[in-house]
Amino acid sequence: MTQKVLVLPGDGIGKEIVAEAVKVINVLKADHGLDLELTYGDIGGAAYDADGHPYPPATQKLAKEADAILLGAVGGYQYDDLPRDVRPERGLLGIRADLELFSNLRPAILMEELADASSLKAEVVAGLDIMIVRELTGGIYFGEPRGIRVLNEGTDKEEKQGYNTLVYKESEIERIAHSAFKIAMKRDKRLCSVGKANVLEVMELWAEVVERVGKEYPEVELSHMYVDNAAMQLVKEPKQFDVMVTGNMFGDILSDAAAMLTGSIGMLPSASLDKNGKGMYEPIHGSAPDIAGKNIANPLATITSVSMMLKYSLGKSELADKIDAAVKSVIQQGMRTADIYVEGVAGTTLVSTSEIGDAVVVALQN
């Protein structure tokens, strides 16, 4: 049966990097029997420009019909002054919430050839393989009440106050904990739950529920860490971690830090899954408007997002392995986009977005 993938290039470098990923998909269709139909939609600033909304009804409909979604990135300086509810980021949060993509998997794996590109010493990051499981549809990103209000209006003490609410229900913590434990079972069976139970009641409940769910996974060694310490440990001794599970905002922050351990945020893919394994796949980096349209962005995180899509939503692990091998071979050949290029490293060449994409295509054809 033909599977349907919705492609949402979005803004900034989104279009360029997604174009490279589509080349890869097309090779798999032509040469490896992948039966996939691609449809295209708008999201983020591109959708606002076209329809006045960052997640318009037409995209919603396509998203519901698709078996999986491939997304580039959203956001751009030109949208910074728009009302908050039509900003590009709202489109991304909208589709995550609409499809209940609560389980966000962000693997941070260091390819040994890129150890020089990491800001940490090679021996600290060599062999790094962490999976961050970030809760994606709850927490402070979505909690109510939220807003900016005026206090003491009309008095000499008048001032504005911004507020957001960090909330988690037991059912939300349970389902993300199950996701994380299941992933840990397939890996090194170590799970670290990251919170801030020393200060926040909601994270006290988080730790308690994760602990309870853990009883169903006796083989997994569960530990708890406060988020400030986790940030420190990630840059001090990152290899101590196997799987980390955390809330929406802590996961946003820690996954950027973890990405840099691997040399570049341009290398890390992600999967955002619902309870049935339907998912949206996107590089964890943003739309990088400063380098958009220059053909210098790194498309490898988007290409390996396709690999995650084949594995997690489309049941095609063999093809996912082929993509991963092709990406590895391109890195081994010494090809480097600007973000992973380190001057003076023997055997490496600085290449463009489309050159590295073409090289992945060639590697897949061999």
Contacts with 330 (C-beta within 8 Å, 6 or more apart), sequence order: 300, 356, 359, 360, 363
* Catalytic annotation, pick one of 49, 129, 256, 324: 256
Residue found by looking up tokens 């730790």 in the block: 207
Among 49, 51, 89, 221, binds ligand IPM (CB under 6 A): 89
β 36-40/3-10 pair status:
parallel
Residue 209, contacted partner among Mg ion, ligand IPM, none, CB below 5-8 A by kind: none
Q: Which tokens in the block code for residue 177?
A: 């904990």
Contact between 301 and 324 (Cβ < 8 Å): no
Is 133 in a helix, a strand, or coil? strand
Enter the tokens of residue 170.
């037991």
**Smallest distance from the beta carbon of 149 to Mg ion, in angstroms?**
27
Catalytic residue, from 141, 217, 312, 341: name it. 141
Q: β-strand 68-73 against 279-283: which pairing, if any?
A: parallel
Query: Catalytic site residue 79?
Result: no
Distance of closest approach, residue 11 Cβ to ligand IPM, in angstroms: 10
Q: In degrees, to the nearest 5, what angle opens at C-alpha 90 toward C-alphas 88 and 91?
A: 70
CB of 92 to ligand IPM, least distance (A): 5
Residue 72 token pair? 């580039």
CB-wise, 94 or 357, nearer to ligand IPM? 94
141 is catalytic: yes
Using the rule CB under 6 A, which residue among 24, 46, 92, 194 binds ligand IPM? 92
Please choose, out of 15-23, 158-166, 210-218, 247-255, the segment that lies near Mg ion by the rule CB under 5 A.
Answer: 247-255
Contact range with Mg ion by CB under 5 A, out of 175-183, 238-246, 250-258, 344-352? 250-258
Can 252 be counted among the known catalytic residues?
A: yes
Smallest distance from the beta carbon of 70 to ligand IPM, in angstroms? 14
Number of residues that bind Mg ion (CB under 5 A): 1
Q: Is 256 a catalytic residue?
A: yes
228 is catalytic: yes
Residue 124 φ/ψ region, left for φ over 0, alpha for ψ in the -120 to 50 degree band, beta for the rest: alpha
98 CB neighbour count, 10 Å cutoff: 14
Catalytic residue among 64, 77, 163, 228: 228
- Residue 212 one-letter amino acid: R
Q: How far is the CB of 33 from Mg ion (least distance, A)?
A: 35
Alpha helices in the chain (DSSP H): 14-31, 44-51, 57-65, 88-98, 122-125, 170-185, 201-214, 227-236, 248-261, 300-312, 317-332, 353-365
Out of 172, 252, 282, 339, name the contact with Mg ion by CB under 5 A: 252
C-alpha torsion sign, points 180, 183, 189, 194: negative
Q: 130 near 258, Cβ under 8 Å?
A: yes
Q: Which among 11, 42, 252, 339 is annotated as catalytic?
A: 252
**Token digits of residue 317:** 């692990």
Contact 202, 214 (CB under 8 A): no
Binding mask 196-235 for ligand IPM (x = CB under 6 A): ----------------------------------------
Binding-site member from 118, 252, 265, 326 for ligand IPM (CB under 6 A): 252
Tokens of residue 221, six digits: 């060694």
Exactly one of 42, 48, 55, 196 is catalytic; which is it? 196
Number of chain positions touching ligand IPM (CB under 6 A):
6
Shortest Å, Cβ 87 to ligand IPM: 9
Shortest Cβ contact with Mg ion: which residue? 252
- Residues 258-297 binding ligand IPM (CB under 6 A) are 284, 286
Catalytic residues: 141, 196, 228, 252, 256
Positions in the binding site for ligand IPM (CB under 6 A): 75, 89, 92, 252, 284, 286
Positions in the binding site for Mg ion (CB under 5 A): 252
